[in-house]
Amino acid sequence: MTTFRTEAVAAPERLRRGWRRHRFWIIVVAVSLAVAVGGYVLSVAGTRSGRPLAADNPAPAGGQAAATVLANQGVRVIPADSLTATVRALEDAPHGSSTVLFYDPLHLLAGDQVTALGDAARRAGARIVAIEPGPLAVRRLDSRFGSGGVLPATAGSPGTLPAGCANADAVAAGGISPAAAPGGAANAASALVYHGPVTCFSGVMASTGGGRVTVLGAAAVVDNGHLDVAGNAALAFRLLGGTPNLLWYIASPADIPASDQKPDLAALTPGWILPAALWLMGAALVGMLWRGRRLGPLVEEPLPVIVAASETVTGRARLYQDAKAVGLAGRTLQTATRGRLARYLRLGSGADAGAVATAVAASLAGHGTVPHARLVELLVTAVPRTEKELLALAQELDALEEEVVTR
């Protein structure tokens, strides 16, 4: 009897089989790695702020350069993103030891909050350097301040603005250069202008007589991208580095006061929702009554169904493969082979497995030495445990059947 050996499986086929067998765990591992890498990237990116003029923002619009230089010179830079944290830090610091950099580019703070910041700084003996405050906020910081509009940029560049005042910090800086609009377009707003007890740099800077409150209409004097232009660095360091502590306060959404009572769903729902919903429900009901039809009982109609034998075999094989029913597939092959051999040897459909094995051994007598025990094992008792063993069993059964038929 011919015994067939399973040929070596090609590498692409092994990869396909491995993918089908382990694809769930491969996908789980891949997704887990993607989530881990994404979380790490987000955590690293989240360690730096992207807000304008923030003390930890290294972008051109950030303020990390000025904060780092001041920290290296012994100034304790304390970032704060809420009014509550700023007031608490002022209360905890020794009297007269703090300067507050106040920047609210989105105008999130209400007038009462700006007043509270000014009162807290006054009680703590602290200085306030407000960057580009709005017209209402600058009045809240000190009633002697006022907004004077904007300083238009000339075509090409606004140039260097001289101090034009007797303020010691302004005189030491000599001149500053506020940022021009991109491309230096004419009549583009370059800086905000204020007026107060002491006005410098054509109104870009104003301060009280003692320098307790200073308003600066150009954030570019402090940001990373323009700190090294003209006397910007000198002015920024003198305004912000005059005390041991610097509270770097950038207003954030955390400063927006929350409502005392959460609104319910009814308060958030527009008034027209309920009438519109009732009208739509009524229209749908009318439409169903108008267009709806009463269906009669189902009528059974037998239809012929023709399925190719190859499709049945392929479908059953795939079911066995998906269920990994290797043993059941082997028994099915043995049963089918015994049935065909029984019909060929005229044993009848009721012949048992032992009788078929005996008849096969008798049919092959004189044509080869096939032990009866091997035939019984091949036709009855052999149970494959792997796909490789199943393939070998199928090949040997096919060879056995072919040998019996050809004899």
- For 236-280, the pLDDT digits (tens) are 999 999 899 999 999 988 888 766 556 677 777 788 888 899 999
Query: Average of pLDDT values for 142-167?
Result: 78
SS3 assignment, position 198: strand
Q: Cα–Cα distance between 52 and 225 in angstroms, integer? A: 11
Q: How confident is the model over 335-358, as pLDDT tens digits?
A: 888 888 888 888 877 788 888 888
Record the tokens describing residue 394, joined without a space: 């199928």
Output 120 or 49, whichever has higher pLDDT: 120
Task: Report the pLDDT value the prediction gives residue 294, as an integer from 0 to 100.
Answer: 65
Residue 227 Cα to chain centre, angstroms = 34
Q: Cα–Cα distance between 73 and 65 in angstroms, integer? A: 13
The structure tokens 């209400």 sit at 110
User: Distance of CA 301 to CAs 141, 298, 304, Å?
Assistant: 88, 10, 10
CB 121 within 8 A of CB 245: no
Q: Cα–Cα distance between 142 and 207 in angstroms, integer? A: 10
Phi then psi dihedrals of residue 23, to 5 deg: -65, -30
Residue 250 neighbours by CB under 8 Å, 6+ apart: 51, 52, 53, 54, 79, 80, 81, 103, 104
Task: Report the pLDDT value the prediction gives residue 36, as an integer from 0 to 100.
Answer: 82
Q: How confident is the model over 45-63, as pLDDT tens digits?
A: 544 567 889 988 998 889 9
pTM (predicted TM-score): 0.54
Burial class, 327, CB count within 10 angstroms (exposed 0-12 / middle 13-18 / buried 19+): middle
Task: Report the pLDDT value the prediction gives residue 183, as an integer from 0 to 100.
Answer: 36
CB 351 within 8 A of CB 360: no
CB 399 within 8 A of CB 336: no
For a pLDDT cut of 70, what percent of the chain falls above it?
86
CB 115 within 8 A of CB 140: yes
Q: How confident is the model over 355-381, as pLDDT tens digits?
A: 888 888 888 876 655 678 888 888 888
